[in-house]
Structure 1
């Protein structure tokens, strides 16, 4: 996928039309043992990608050679429902996905994804099915672009608006994740902190005072 000044992302899409695909399936629990974000790509959609013996399922779309390098997912409704594990987002990004197009998303997954700059484009169910129909008819991955500035998803055969909050839209256009967006308010945060500590100076030293009182 390429990006033009963070405003338009272009890539190639594969279809995963499974409704209510939850985060436990996106990133199974056995891959959550690490203490950081690293090494999650092998676990992505593991039970869909591999059989009980750990062998790749030849009929699964992401295992097909033509779809190697796919970076946009055309997903079923309520994608990412279930638990709040942020690893599902990190795993998708490490695997190479930059965006998901669907008619609806799990609420917590949506927030986690957008805050980590995994772009989720929410379209109507009719538009989602139109994109999937076009993708299935294509010889390989479907060329697709997502215009954040104009809030449009486009392919050769279809175009549709997508829903995105102004806050998240601004984050993508400015190239920021949620921490970067928060730091744009650094002056206001520092001013509040200075006022807070000046009004309640004892709060700042509460840990030290507690240790002194307990003789720790």
Structure 2
């Protein structure tokens, strides 16, 4: 997974609260192989009517929203079940940034591990970005080091801890972070083996 420091792309508004992981990727689509992609199923049941027809007035279905990579939503984005496929659906649909006042904790962790920024900001700043997008999608830039999202004349701060920034910048997941301490782990293992040899199986 490649890392990034800044991302500039089309921002689109999704002015809904409590969009949970079941809505982001309905369970019936999760049997699809990961390498086949989940992007087509992102928010499927919100984007389609009961007959499976696309709703033309849904924000992500509008022609001007095509190619968007920054999503601005309301509070409690990604709550619900722990399915990582919710993040896969967003990433496969081309999104690199989701802006919201709050996120489900597990969703936010999964997002960072997959290169997707969960940009948590104040409800007031989130509302300002949504208002700016009221006339339609427009270009925005997310900066990891500055922890800002800039859209039009608005620059809004988001919160993200240093460890999560490091993971996004370097394209790391939790396993990659552990590998950065390989020498210390090996040294500790060697010292433990010397001090407590009875912990290790006999080499007969």
Work out whether the TM-score is over 0.5. Answer: yes
Give the corresponding residue for 1:210.
none
Please say if residues 98 and 118 of structure 1, whose CA atoms lie closer than 8 Å, have aligned partners that are also in contact.
yes
> Could you report, residue by residue, the CA deviation over 1:54-79 in whole angstroms, capped at 9, with x for unpaired residues?
11111111111111111110011100
> Could you report, residue by residue, the CA deviation over 1:121-171 in whole angstroms, capped at 9, with x for unpaired residues?
11100000000000112xx42211111111111111211111000101122
TM (normalized to structure 1)? Answer: 0.85
> Is it true that 1:177 corresponds to 2:177 in the alignment?
no
> Is it true that 1:118 corresponds to 2:116 in the alignment?
yes
Task: Identify the match of residue 80 of structure 2 among 79, 82, 103.
Answer: 82
Specify whether residues 184 and 158 from structure 1 end up closer, same or farther in structure 2 by C-alpha distance, changes over 3 A only.
same
* Stretch moving more, 96-105 or 108-117: 108-117
Give the corresponding residue for 1:96.
94
Gaps of 5+ in 2: none
> Is it true that 1:166 corresponds to 2:138 in the alignment?
no
Task: Identify the match of residue 134 of structure 1 among 126, 132, 135.
Answer: 132
The CA distance in 2 between the partners of 1:116 and 1:203, in whole Å, is 36
Give the corresponding residue for 2:65.
67
Between 1 and 2, higher relative CO (CA 8 Å, sep ≥ 6) is seen in 2
Give the corresponding residue for 2:149.
153
The alignment partner of 2:78 has SS state of coil
1:112, CA displacement in angstroms? 1.0
Q: Please tell me the root mean square deviation across aligned C-alpha atoms, in Å.
A: 2.2
> Could you report, residue by residue, the CA deviation over 1:80-132 in whole angstroms, capped at 9, with x for unpaired residues?
00010000011110111111011111111111111221111111000000000
Specify whether residues 200 and 47 from structure 1 end up closer, same or farther in structure 2 by C-alpha distance, changes over 3 A only.
farther
Gaps of 5+ in 1: 207-216
Aligned residues: 202
The CA distance in 1 between the partners of 2:27 and 2:198, in whole Å, is 43
1:199-214 equivalences in 2 (<5 Å): 199=195, 205=201
The CA distance in 1 between the partners of 2:53 and 2:193, in whole Å, is 59
TM (normalized to structure 2)? Answer: 0.90
Specify whether residues 17 and 203 from structure 1 end up closer, same or farther in structure 2 by C-alpha distance, changes over 3 A only.
farther
> Is it true that 1:195 corresponds to 2:188 in the alignment?
no
Larger radius of gyration: 1
